[in-house]
A and B are shown apart, each in its own frame.
Chain A
Amino acid sequence: MAALAQTPEVNDVAAELYCPLCSGLTVDVCELEVCDDMREVIQERLDAGESPEEIKSYFVEQYGQKVLGKPSTEGFHLTAWIMPFIGLLGAAMILVFWLRNRSSSEVVQPLPHLSAEVASQSDYHARLEQELQRLE
Chain B
Amino acid sequence: MALEQPLTTTQESVTDDFSPSRPWWFVPTFVTVLAVLGLLAYALVIRDRSQLMSGAAPNFTLQTFDGQSIELSRLQGKPVILNFWASWCVECDKEMAFLEQASVTYQGEVVFLGIDYLDTEPKAREYLALYGITYPNGPDLGGRISNDFNIKGVPETFFIGKDGTIRGLKVGPLEEAELENWIAQLQAE
Q: A interface vs B, CB < 8 Å? A: 20-21, 32-34, 37-38, 40-41, 44, 60-64, 66, 76, 79, 83, 86-87, 90, 93-94, 97-98, 100-101, 104, 108, 111, 124, 127-128, 131, 134-135
Cβ contact of A97, chosen from B17, B25, B35, B143, cutoff 8 A: B25
Cβ contact of A37, chosen from B10, B18, B123, cutoff 8 A: B123
Cβ contact of B13, chosen from A44, A66, A86, A127, cutoff 8 A: A127
Is A38 in contact with B120, judged by CB distance below 8 angstroms? Answer: yes
- Contact digits for B142-182, partner A, Cβ 8 Å, 1 yes 0 no: 11100000000000000000000000000000000000000
- Tell me, yes or no, whether B129 is within 8 Å of chain A by CB: no
Besides A38-B120, A104-B18, 18 more A-B contacts (Cβ < 8 Å) are: A34-B119, A37-B87, A37-B120, A37-B123, A41-B120, A60-B142, A61-B142, A62-B141, A64-B143, A66-B143, A76-B42, A90-B32, A94-B25, A98-B24, A111-B14, A111-B18, A127-B13, A134-B6
Is B10 in contact with A21, judged by CB distance below 8 angstroms? Answer: no
- Tell me, yes or no, whether B135 is within 8 Å of chain A by CB: no
- Tell me, yes or no, whether B122 is within 8 Å of chain A by CB: yes
Given known A63-B142, A93-B28, contact A124–B119 (CB-CB < 8 A): no
Kindly list chain A residues whose C-beta atoms are within 8 Å of the C-beta of B39.
79, 83
Q: For the complex formed, measure the closest distance between the CB of B87 and the CB atoms of chain A, giving whole angstroms.
A: 8
Closest to A37 in B: B120
Closest to A64 in B: B142
Give Cα A74–Cα B142 distance, bound, in whole angstroms.
12
Kindly list chain A residues whose C-beta atoms are within 8 Å of the C-beta of B7.
131
Q: B interface vs A, CB < 8 Å? A: 3, 6-7, 10, 13-14, 17-18, 24-25, 27-29, 31-32, 35, 39, 42-43, 46, 86-88, 118-123, 139, 141-144
Closest to A93 in B: B28
Kindly list chain A residues whose C-beta atoms are within 8 Å of the C-beta of B17.
124
Q: For the complex formed, measure the closest distance between the CB of B162 and the CB atoms of chain A, giving whole angstroms.
A: 31
Is B28 in contact with A127, judged by CB distance below 8 angstroms? Answer: no
Give Cα A97–Cα B122 distance, bound, in whole angstroms.
59
Is B142 in contact with A62, judged by CB distance below 8 angstroms? Answer: yes
Give Cα A62–Cα B118 distance, bound, in whole angstroms.
8
Kindly list chain A residues whose C-beta atoms are within 8 Å of the C-beta of B18.
104, 108, 111
Q: For the complex formed, measure the closest distance between the CB of A116 and the CB atoms of chain B, giving whole angstroms.
A: 17
Kindly list chain B residues whose C-beta atoms are within 8 Å of the C-beta of A37.
87-88, 119-120, 122-123
Give Cα A65–Cα B86 distance, bound, in whole angstroms.
20
Kindly list chain A residues whose C-beta atoms are within 8 Å of the C-beta of B144.
64
Is A97 in contact with B28, judged by CB distance below 8 angstroms? Answer: yes
Q: For the complex formed, measure the closest distance between the CB of B157 and the CB atoms of chain A, giving whole angstroms.
A: 20
Is B25 in contact with A32, judged by CB distance below 8 angstroms? Answer: no
